[in-house]
Amino acid sequence: MKINTIGLGYIGLPTSLMFAKHGVNVVGVDISETLVDELNQGQVSIKEPGVADYLTKALEEKRFRASLKPESGDAFIIAVPTPNSADQFESCDIRYLVQALQAVLPVVRAGNTIIIESTIAPRTMEDVIQPFFETAGFTIGRDLFFGALSRKSIARKNTRRTCSK
């Protein structure tokens, strides 16, 4: 099995390495060239216990590699930032999420699963993500399968700056 994780921060990197630890081949994608280079050299900048060791092992076993571009695979896990907007509702700014969707679209195939780990407001799946893939010709539930995960308990300390509503 091969997955892509999009966004290699506090959520995407540990998630990638846990999948790699369990035998999944993971392409970790980020827009930061520096981050991609550092991770491929085994350097971890986030402060999460154990992550550096998991990265070393995943690189040794060739289960994980960082890249600037997504590749075809079985599933895509999107974990890019969705910071609060400056409006009165502090609504989620989904511009990075939309960028990530645009980046994966050329390599998405029928049968794939797409999981949104980024924090999104209710109805974002129905109003934004589903129409995005339907416009590209996919039928949701037949060609593509969606999931959204919520696990606020693992949020890092500055959740104030990310969308938590």
Which residues of this chain interact with ligand NAD, rule CB under 6 A? Answer: 6-12, 29-32, 35, 79-82, 96, 99-100, 103, 117-119, 149-152, 154-156, 162-163
Tell me how far, at minimum, the Cβ of 9 lies from ligand NAD, in Å: 2
Closest to 105 measured CA to CA, from 83, 85, 66, 78: 78
Closest to 78 measured CA to CA, from 146, 18, 156: 146
Tell me how far, at minimum, the Cβ of 43 lies from ligand NAD, in Å: 14
Amino acid letter, 9 = G
The answer to whether the beta carbons of residues 32 and 99 sit under 8 Å apart is no
Q: Token digits for 133? A: 């893939």
* Residue closer to ligand NAD (CB basis): 45 or 139: 45
* Residue closer to ligand NAD (CB basis): 9 or 72: 9
Tell me how far, at minimum, the Cβ of 149 lies from ligand NAD, in Å: 4
